[in-house]
Every structure is written in C-alpha cells, then in structure tokens.
C-alpha cells in the first residue's frame, strides 16, 4: 500500500528523473537489473489487479521485442570485430546483438517505470497534486478532470450511434473508403453531443463559482511529507547500486551514438 500513499507529484518526478538518467546508459545489464527491481517494488508495495498488469506488461514486452528484432535485422551487417552469431536462422554481427538487447531492455525499463506509476496512482489525486505542488492552473486541471469524466460517456454514446446507424440500414463497411465515410457520419452526432455537454458542464462549473483563480481551498489537501522522500531515495539509490554493480562486472557503458 506504500506506493499508493506517496505524493503523486513526487512519484511522477522521481520516475521522470530515473527515465532521464537511464537514457544516458547503453548496456543491457543495467536496465535488466533495474527492470527486475521496478517490478519487485511494484508488486511488493502496490495493490492492484495483477491480471491487468500482466496484460499491459506483455504488450510492452512485445513492443520491446519488436525494437530488438528490427534493430537486429536492419542494422549495419559489417562487423568491425568480425565475430558473428547465428540467431533464429539469421546471422548477425555480435555487436549488433549487444546493441539490440540494450535498446529493447531500455524500452522495457521505461515501460515498467510507467506501469509502476499508472497502477499505483489515482488520476484525480495526481491532478490535484499537480495543482497544489506544481501550481498547474486550475482552469486547465479541472478541464482535464471534467474531460476524464466524459470518456466513458463517450464510449456508451459511440455504441448507441453504431446501433442506431445499423438500424438505418447502414451496412458494415467493407472497403477503407466506406470505413472513412462511416466514421465521418458517426463523428457528427458524437461531436454535436460532446460540444453541447462540454458547454453545459462549463456553465454549471461557473455557476458554482469556479473562476479558474489560483487561490482556492482544497477538500483533498495534497502535501509532501517526510515519508514521501523515501520513494525517490529508494529508487535513485537502487539505480546507483545497479550502475555500481554493472561497472564492477564490466558491463557498463554510456550512450555514445551506438545506433
């Protein structure tokens, strides 16, 4: 439960900081160690539906593998060292495998960090924290919140329009052209509805005294407490240890235009 209680802004800035630092490194071992660490932290200190995490993780894994594979297949095949490896029926220079693995794991490291944030943060709290800690203008923040509420409504409306059009005898589109025409048709009622709703919401917010002014009180005060610093301390600390380990075993390398 600890991760859910960390101040969302502190959490977000920590993750951004780590991603920034990881972007300077380019070897497979450091990110691999850090990925393991991130996943352990997420599962130990977060409560969420594990099933969904795995779904998300698998899709990122696929993406990372894609990066790995394309780098491998489409990179320069003239190997300076002359060493080659045979992999899944193709022969590639050994260096390229190193580069491709680094790239794939780097993508995966960014993904696990983002998932840590997504699965342990309440979006409303995050936005409220952005207003209170980072002075995000309330006009923008509450606009985003109102929009966030609209998404599920838009989804049901989309399904209704789809059914309503089918009943009018609009056939299932077969070609790309038909598909585009259909989406255009559907966009009009959806947009008209959304604009009307947005306008009404704006009027309702204003009549409740919302002016977008920065001085307002908060029903959910978001504070940065001493215990919130534990999270960045832990994450940056571990990054340091990981780097130290891979330097010690001789794997470490900075990003130096390897691609």
In the complex, the residues that contact other proteins under the rule CB under 8 A are 124, 142, 145-146, 148-149, 152-153, 157, 160-161, 163-171, 185, 188-189, 192-193, 196-198, 200-201, 203-211, 213, 215-221
Q: Which is nearer to other proteins, 50 or 220 (CB)?
A: 220
Q: Which is nearer to other proteins, 67 or 136 (CB)?
A: 136
Q: Which is nearer to other proteins, 189 or 232 (CB)?
A: 189
Least Å distance between CB 7 and other proteins?
17
CA 44, 61, 77, 88 dihedral sign is: positive
Least Å distance between CB 116 and other proteins?
22
DSSP string, 99-155: HHHHHHHHHHHHHHHHHHHHHH--HHHHHHHHHHHH---HHHHHHHHHHHHHHHHHH
Least Å distance between CB 13 and other proteins?
24
Q: Which is nearer to other proteins, 119 or 231 (CB)?
A: 119
Least Å distance between CB 218 and other proteins?
6
Query: What is the token pair recorded at 204?
Result: 């309702």
Cα dihedral 86→87→92→96 (10° resolution): -130
**Nearest Cα to Cα of residue 72 among 53, 90, 54, 46:** 90
Q: Which is nearer to other proteins, 83 or 223 (CB)?
A: 223
Under a CB-based contact definition with an 8 Å cutoff, are residues 35 and 56 in contact?
no
Which residues are bridge partners to 84 per DSSP?
Answer: 93
Least Å distance between CB 2 and other proteins?
22
């Amino acid at each position: 439960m600890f991760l859910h209680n960390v101040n969302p802004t502190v959490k977000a800035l920590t993750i951004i900081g780590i991603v920034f630092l990881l972007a300077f490194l380019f070897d497979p071992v450091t990110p691999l160690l850090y990925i393991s660490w991130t996943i352990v932290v997420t599962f130990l200190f977060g409560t969420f539906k594990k099933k969904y995490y795995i779904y998300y993780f698998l899709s990122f894994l696929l993406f990372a593998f894609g990066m790995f594979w394309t780098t491998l297949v489409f990179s320069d095949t003239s190997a300076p060292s002359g060493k080659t490896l045979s992999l899944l029926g193709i022969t590639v220079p050994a260096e390229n495998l190193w580069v491709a693995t680094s790239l794939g794991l780097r993508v995966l490291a960014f993904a696990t960090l983002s998932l840590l944030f997504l699965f342990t943060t309440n979006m409303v709290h995050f936005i409220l924290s952005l207003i209170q800690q980072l002075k995000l203008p309330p006009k923008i923040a509450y606009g985003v919140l109102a929009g966030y509420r609209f998404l599920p409504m838009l989804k049901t409306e989309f399904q209704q329009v789809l059914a309503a059009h089918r009943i009018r005898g609009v056939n299932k589109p077969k070609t790309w052209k038909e598909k585009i025409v259909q989406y255009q048709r559907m966009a009009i009622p959806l947009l008209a509805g959304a604009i009307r709703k947005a306008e009404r919401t704006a009027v309702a917010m204003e009549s409740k005294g919302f002016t977008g002014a920065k001085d307002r009180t908060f029903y959910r005060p978001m504070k940065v407490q001493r215990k919130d610093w534990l999270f960045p301390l832990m994450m940056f600390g571990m990054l340091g240890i990981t780097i130290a380990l891979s330097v010690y075993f001789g794997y470490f390398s900075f990003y130096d235009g390897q691609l």
